[in-house]
Amino acid sequence: MSRAEYIHDGPDGDGARAADRAGGSGSHGADSDGARPERTLAALPPARGRGFARTWWGRAWLKALEDTALDGEQLRRGRKHAREGAVGAVCVRPGRITAVVQDRDRTPHRSDVLLREFGEAEWDRLLEVIADRSGHIAALLDRDMPPQLAEDAAAVGVELLPGIGDLEPECGCEAWDHCPHTAALCYQLGRLLDEDPFLLLLMRGRAERELLDELQARSVARAAGHVPRAVRDASPPAPEGVPAREAFAAPGPPPLPAPPPAVATPGRPPALAGGTDPAGALDVAALEFLAADAAVRARRLLAEALAPGHATSPVPAALTVWEDTVRLTAAAPPAPIAARLAAGCGRDRTDLARAVRAWEHGGAAALAVLEEEWTPDAETLARARVQLAAAWEEGERAPRLRATGNRWTVAGADLQVRYGRDGRWWPYRKERGRWWPAGPAAPDPAAALAAPGSDG
């Protein structure tokens, strides 16, 4: 299926997942020097009016929490914290998840939940189970975890999902059992596990890329083992190798071909409308729009690949369905498609309009600044204050600012600057009682407040 769940729910209302969902969001992977793998996932918006887990494995995670915690009142308060968006970015790594959780008075607490990592023998048995069934690998790649996989793992002594007592809490509030902060973190992770079961495998000790590489190696070995004996016997014997001197004296591999040229304009997608009515409820206009969008994206990706330093640039995180909805809406689709996007995104039209304006000013980074309110740690806050102090020259009158989290509001004016996690400043202006993005990011707050659209 294509972007934004084929323009939300598709023509048949099946709610197919977006192609961009693969890989999750945030940073992930092990460093080249062998550092432990981890993924950091951005804070989720409030979850009012919805449950915390839809999938069976997400519900199993929450059951382990609810069966372990001794105080139901702490769980109730934790659900309320999570539902109100009090959980910050979640860091997932082997054996541990971590986030900063705010109380109602905005007091931050670092909260951790620990889960036992698998040993090498357990991983060996689990990988054999997954490699033994191609359907298991296909399901994982589709961000699904069939119950049969967990049953097959349990049959060889590997309990993939946590049980009673497996989720061990640690919190800065110094509670000895699950407190509202660790409970909120667990409920938040239930939502994240719905989207990506590889997070559970990362907690058990293997990052997605490492796990898939190991599965590929085992699949290749299994395929080689199924070659008929007669074919293997007829094959020429493997060479015993050559002396190192000869190997080093041999000419090197041929040079790589020249990179393709840049493309001046996106290709024109085919016109799908014809004399025959489409089968079923196929939305031809939506498919044509998505094909045109794919051509634009392909041209941009090629330009990025040809740019200097591309080989060392980090791989951007895959877009969520909401981010892809905003991106597609910002591309000014035809009115019927824009209406479907607005109806299927689960937000009101004002929320979508604010998100589109943010996207136009800075893509996914600007959208994150719009939707995420976070409390800078002491070091980050010190850097921000230094920039604020240096933004206005001596003798120049600086505005009086009120700070709330990462947001500084100009006293007596409908102006605000927000400090992004990347150290940039984003201008905002209050319109119709809500804060709207007013321009692209700037390196200092004075420049942000001077951006067109953010001046008085």
Please, which pLDDT band fits residue 22 given cuts at 50, 70 and 90?
very low
Residue 198 lies in a domain: yes
> Is pLDDT larger for residue 241 or for residue 98?
98
Residue 395 within a domain? yes
Q: What pLDDT, on a 0 to 100 scale, did the predictor assign at position 139?
A: 86
d(Cα 404, Cα 376) in Å, to the nearest integer? 10
Residue 21's pLDDT band, with cuts at 50, 70 and 90, is very low
Give percent of the chain with pLDDT exceeding 90.
42
159 vs 50, which has greater pLDDT?
159
pLDDT exceeds 90 at position 36: no
Please check the confidence at residue 398 and state whether its pLDDT lies above 80.
yes
* pLDDT value of residue 274: 62
Q: What rounded mean pLDDT belongs to the chain?
A: 83
Nearest 10 degrees: CA dihedral of 298, 301, 303, 304?
180
Region 121-149: mean pLDDT is: 88
* Contact (Cβ atoms closer than 8 angstroms) between residue 126 and residue 118: yes
Which DSSP string corresponds to 298-352?
Answer: HHHHHHHHHSTTGGGSPPPPPPPHHHHHHHHHHT---HHHHHHHHHHSSS-HHHH
Q: Is the pLDDT of residue 247 over 80?
A: no
- 317-366 pLDDT, tens digit each: 889 999 999 999 999 998 999 999 999 888 899 999 999 999 999 999 99
**What is the per-residue pLDDT for 311?**
80
Q: What's the rounded mean pLDDT across residues 376-395? A: 87
Matching residue, tokens 């409820």: 281
Which of the two residues, 82 and 248, has the higher pLDDT score? 82
The answer to whether 268 and 291 have CB atoms below 8 angstroms apart is: no
Give me the percent of the chain exceeding a pLDDT of 70. 85
Among 209, 224, 239, which residue terminates a domain?
224
- Domain final residue, candidates 182, 201, 224: 224
How far apart (Å, rounded) are the C-alpha atoms in residues 427 and 441? 7
Task: At 384, give phi and psi (nearest 5°).
Answer: -65, -40
* pLDDT value, residue 408: 94
- Tell me, yes or no, whether 242 lies in a domain: no
Structure-block tokens of residue 450: 């001077």
Please tell me the predicted confidence (pLDDT) of residue 78: 92
pLDDT tens by residue, 424-455: 999 999 998 999 999 999 988 998 888 766 55
Q: Is residue 328 part of a domain?
A: no
pLDDT band at 12; cut points 50, 70, 90: very low
15, part of any domain: no
Q: Is the pLDDT of residue 31 over 60?
A: no
Separation between Cα atoms, residue 23 and residue 317, nearest integer Å = 7
Residue 87 banded pLDDT, cuts 50, 70, 90:
very high
Domain assignment present for residue 132? The answer is yes
The pLDDT-based confidence of 287 (bands split at 50, 70, 90) is confident
Place of tokens 């102090």: 389
14 or 80: whose pLDDT is higher? 80
Would you state the pLDDT for residue 406?
93
Q: What Rg value do the Cα atoms of the chain yield, rounded?
A: 26
Give the number of other Cβ atoms within 10 Å of residue 419's Cβ.
25
Output the CA–CA distances (angstroms, integers) from residue 113 to 62, 92, 172, 198, 203, in the order listed.
13, 10, 12, 17, 10
Last residue of a domain, one of 203, 224, 245: 224
User: Over 90: is that where the pLDDT of 368 sits?
Assistant: yes
pLDDT at 52 over 90: no
State the pLDDT at residue 454. Answer: 56
- How many folded domains does the chain comprise? 2
Domain span at residue 443 reads 382-449
Kindly report which listed range (79-93, 185-199, 298-312) carries the lowest average pLDDT score: 298-312
**How confident is the model at residue 110, as a pLDDT?**
95
Give the pLDDT confidence score for residue 273 in this predicted structure: 66
Average pLDDT rounded to a whole number, residues 200-213: 91
pLDDT value at 45 more than 50: yes
Whose CA is closest to 137, among 119, 152, 158? 152
Domain assignment present for residue 235? The answer is: no
The three-point CA angle 145-149-154 to 5° equals 130
What Cα–Cα distance (Å) separates residue 54 from each residue in 57, 59, 60, 77, 145?
A: 9, 7, 10, 21, 13
Q: Does some domain include residue 329?
A: no
